[in-house]
Structure 1
Amino acid sequence: MPPMFDLSLYLVTDPAQTAARGLLATVEQAVQGGVTLVQLRDPQAKGRALVEQARALKALLAPHGIPLIINDRVDVALAADADGVHLGQDDIDPAAARAVLGAGRILGLSVGSPEELAVSDLSGVDYVGVGPVKATGTKSDAGGAIGVAGLAALRKLISLPLVGIGGIDAAIAPDIIRAGADGIAVVSALCRAPDVTAAARDLRAVIAAARA
């Protein structure tokens, strides 16, 4: 069984946006504000550098019981003893990733349309990231924005826990939660925030209000 996880406020890191403050400082402040899950995403980092970043984040997050997810790289997740991996549609097949990861780690998969869902094997997947909800500049290979309506349509087809991603901020977060998402995944809303802790607290409050 993979570790328990909470998708409520899912931070996805971006190296350009955390450069000035620092990756660890950004994540630490986000944790103080109530982030529940962290994904390390740095497409340009070489294997060794990525493993070092992951190990540092794991040491920071583990005492708080917050899982660390690695974007794309199953090998890095294993080397750093991270809690899981998040895959895109063009990455290793989820079944193959699960075979390597074993049953004890979290496996997420991005789905951006009913067509992608139709060709996705979710049998070994623990949660699905749906989007981009809005156009985003933080991921160059993201598909076209599907909007809240597109997320709601996919929610009806997916029984797994679901997190919305892509251009999400406090203004649209309530709509995403009300559309059936279990949480929101954010990049710029936290990584670019002048006060990361305050921004995370505000997002958690918005999520709680939408659920109520």
Structure 2
Amino acid sequence: MISKLHYISTEKKDKNHLLHIQEACEAGCRWIQLRAKNIETEEYIALAKKAKVITDLHNAILLINDRPDVAKAVNADGVHVGKEDILPSEARAILGEGKIVGGTANTIEDIQRLYDFGVDYIGLGPFRFTQTKKKLSPILGLEGYQSLLDECKSRGIDTPIIAIGGIETKDVESILATGIYGVAVSGLIANAEHPGKVVSALEQELQHQTTI
């Protein structure tokens, strides 16, 4: 079952990936993506092993960004691949069946391609400008999401689609109204003074939309 709330790790001068993941898990996030950039393989594996200890302790899913080899080395639950990364089919071949493979999309062509590859979920964005990602694809906004989700419906694409990119709690209701399955956040939780309150508010919005 794909979670409706994804947390993507980040790193700051005063707080590293592991501390952010620890806080996110303690706040109630049960779907964690470790997204470490510009890092050597051995260091990434060491970091992922420590992240796995934290997510296991909280019964949370752990995905590794970009690197199926790292995911396999630490027995993570899966991998998320970007548009310019390894193909989803290659990632699945490395990880084997039973593991989660997600991918990034910005256009209907991206979505169709990932659907044809049989990914488990699609991260669609960015919703708005975000400083978390350096190479930002064209911003979609609500109109972009609605247009793409309508096209997905007409094509029979039913893969869970997760909105990502500068999303705030107040955006969730209108985003889900487009047909989006769930949301992924990073800074919203990482920068929060009380992460637990943010996660609770997000979950409330997500569950409210599910029951309507």
Counterpart in 2 of 1:194? 193
Choose which of 79, 84, 89 in structure 2 pairs with 1:90.
Answer: 84
Counterpart in 2 of 1:104? 98
Say which structure, 1 or 2, has more relative contact order (CA 8 Å, 6+ apart).
Answer: 1
Counterpart in 2 of 1:11? 7
- Per-residue deviation, 1:208: 2.1
TM-score, normalised with respect to structure 1: 0.89
TM-score, normalised with respect to structure 2: 0.89
Percent identity at matched positions?
31
Structure 2: runs of 5+ lacking an equivalent: none
Choose which of 129, 137, 143 in structure 2 pairs with 1:143.
Answer: 137
Choose which of 38, 46, 53 in structure 2 pairs with 1:59.
Answer: 53
Counterpart in 2 of 1:160? 159
CA offsets 1:94-142 (integer angstroms, 9 cap, x no match): 1111111111210001111113234446333111111111111111112
Kept in 2, the 8 Å contact 1:148–1:175? The answer is: yes
Kept in 1, the 8 Å contact 2:165–2:185? The answer is: yes
Report the Cα distance in structure 1 between the residues aligned to 2:191 and 2:81, rounded to whole angstroms: 24
Amino acid corresponding to residue 123 of structure 1 in structure 2: F
Kept in 2, the 8 Å contact 1:135–1:144? The answer is: no
Structure 1: runs of 5+ lacking an equivalent: none
Q: Please report the RMSD computed on the Cα atoms of aligned residues, expressed in angstroms.
A: 1.7
Counterpart in 1 of 2:174? 175
Which range moved further: 5-14 or 80-89?
5-14
Counterpart in 1 of 2:42? 48
The count of residues paired between Structure 1 and Structure 2 equals: 206
Amino acid corresponding to residue 187 of structure 1 in structure 2: S
Report the Cα distance in structure 1 between the residues aligned to 2:202 and 2:21, rounded to whole angstroms: 15
Report the Cα distance in structure 1 between the residues aligned to 2:197 and 2:20, rounded to whole angstroms: 12
- Per-residue deviation, 1:23: 2.8
Which range moved further: 131-140 or 198-207?
198-207
Question: 1:73-88 residue pairs with structure 2 within 5 A?
Answer: 73-88=67-82
